[in-house]
Amino acid sequence: MKLSKRSFFITVVIVLTIAADQISKVLVRANVDLRNGISPGERIPLIGDAFVLMHVENTGAFLGMGSELGETMRLILLLILPIVVLAFVLRYIIKDKSLDYWSLFAFSSIIGGGVANVYDRVVYGKVTDFLFIDLGGVFKTGIFNLADLSVTTGMIILVLASFRKKKQDRIVS
């Protein structure tokens, strides 16, 4: 069976997103720990204090939300629900042939990031987070990973594409 150019594009984006995330997490877990003289949560400046590496194991979702939930609720909300949603998104982008490549890239990035974090929850029972941005009070993030970055980037692209489409629709009508 030969993949269409479109299916190949979707597959490559998803696989590369998962691979980049998992490789980065393996490197962080192997190199940012007590064996290397780095205590949990210690800040390692990458670009001054603005971009910092800080290894944290997260049992919840984004920014630790849901980590206080019981085991059953965490299983439903952080594992089963994301798998169902990711499957529906994948089905949608495969079926809807009208999506442009930016939208395909965005949805594929979201799927790849979601799968990478679900994989961590299944295999490790938690997600490895390690990046932190603090632009001196102007902008500050929680601790995140490349999967989170992929999901967020995908969402931003979809929002921008939506605004662009609405603007084009107004011009046409």
Helices of type H across 32-145: 71-75, 81-95, 101-124
* Distances from the Cα of 18 to the Cα of 38, 68, 156, angstroms: 26, 27, 19
Pairing mode of beta strands 44-47, 127-133 = unpaired
Q: Judge whether 134 counts as a catalytic residue.
A: no
77, 67 Cβ separation under 8 angstroms: no
Q: Judge whether 100 counts as a catalytic residue.
A: no
What stretch of H or E contains 58? strand 51-58
Phi, psi at 49, each rounded to 5°? -95, 0
Which of 21, 96, 148, 169 is an active site residue? 148
- Determine the Cα–Cα distance for residues 127 and 125; give it in Å rounded to an integer: 7
- Give the 3-state secondary structure percentages of the chain, helix then strand then coil, rounded to 5: 65, 15, 25
Using CB atoms within 10 Å of the CB of residue 163, give its burial: 0 to 12 exposed, 13 to 18 middle, 19+ buried: exposed
Which of 49, 96, 129, 134 is an active site residue? 129
Residues classed as catalytic:
129, 148
